[in-house]
């Protein structure tokens, strides 16, 4: 957890921040929060933070943070502004940094698995489809969609044309 001024200068971190990053209080306060974050992520991270500071919108970003042992880990960084009830001016930001590295890696693995499956379907000349208990198409991928694209659709066929539709009406065979 952390707090920042309305201008975005960090004023406090929980002990967990110091344990996680290995940074000291002197290194972390003010703009020192940037030190453990990956330089490749700072452009979007800073742009989102500046947007939140100027608009008062909640802040959310995912970026890599160097842990005290040197390992880069994905973090979810979020912050909410707290305002003076009379003036509505932001008085302070309260935020959190949460290690989501395992979740990000699971997302990447799932994406990779999906791509591999689609590759198998593409080369296997098959069609995969799923239908829910209301007879609505929830998934369609493979040769059937590609054949329609090539013969009947003049470039306008896609999975979206069928997903959510009743299988008895929308599939020609």
Q: CATH homologous superfamily for 2-105?
A: PAS domain (3.30.450.20)
Q: Which residue has the tokens 């009406």?
A: 169
pLDDT digits (tens, 9 = 90+) for 112-150: 988 887 777 767 777 777 889 998 988 777 766 555 555
CB-hemisphere CA count at 13 Å for 15?
0
Whether the Cβ atoms of residue 62 and residue 77 lie closer than 8 Å to each other: yes
| Residue partners of 4: CB distance under 8 A and separation at least 6 | 10, 11, 79, 92, 93, 95
Nearest to 160 by CA among 152, 170, 147: 170
- This prediction's pTM: 0.68
Q: Where are the domains of the chain?
A: 2-105, 125-170
pLDDT digits (tens, 9 = 90+) for 26-82: 999 998 889 999 999 999 999 999 999 999 999 999 999 999 999 999 999 999 999
């Amino acid at each position: 957890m952390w707090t920042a001024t309305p201008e975005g200068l960090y004023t406090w971190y929980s002990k967990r921040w110091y344990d996680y990053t290995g940074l000291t209080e002197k290194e972390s306060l003010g703009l020192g929060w940037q030190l453990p974050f990956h330089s490749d992520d700072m452009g979007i991270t800073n742009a989102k933070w500046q947007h939140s500071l100027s608009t008062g919108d909640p802040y959310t970003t995912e970026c890599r943070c160097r842990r005290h042992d040197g390992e880069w880990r994905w973090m979810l960084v979020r912050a909410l502004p707290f305002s003076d009830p009379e003036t509505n001016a932001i008085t302070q930001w309260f935020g959190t940094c949460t290690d989501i590295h395992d979740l990000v890696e699971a997302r990447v693995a799932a994406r990779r698995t999906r791509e591999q499956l689609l590759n198998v379907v593409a080369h296997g000349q098959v069609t995969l489809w799923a239908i829910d208990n209301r007879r609505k198409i929830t998934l369609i991928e493979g040769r059937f969609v590609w054949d329609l694209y090539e013969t009947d659709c003049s470039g306008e066929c896609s999975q979206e044309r069928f997903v959510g539709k009743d299988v008895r009406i929308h599939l020609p065979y």
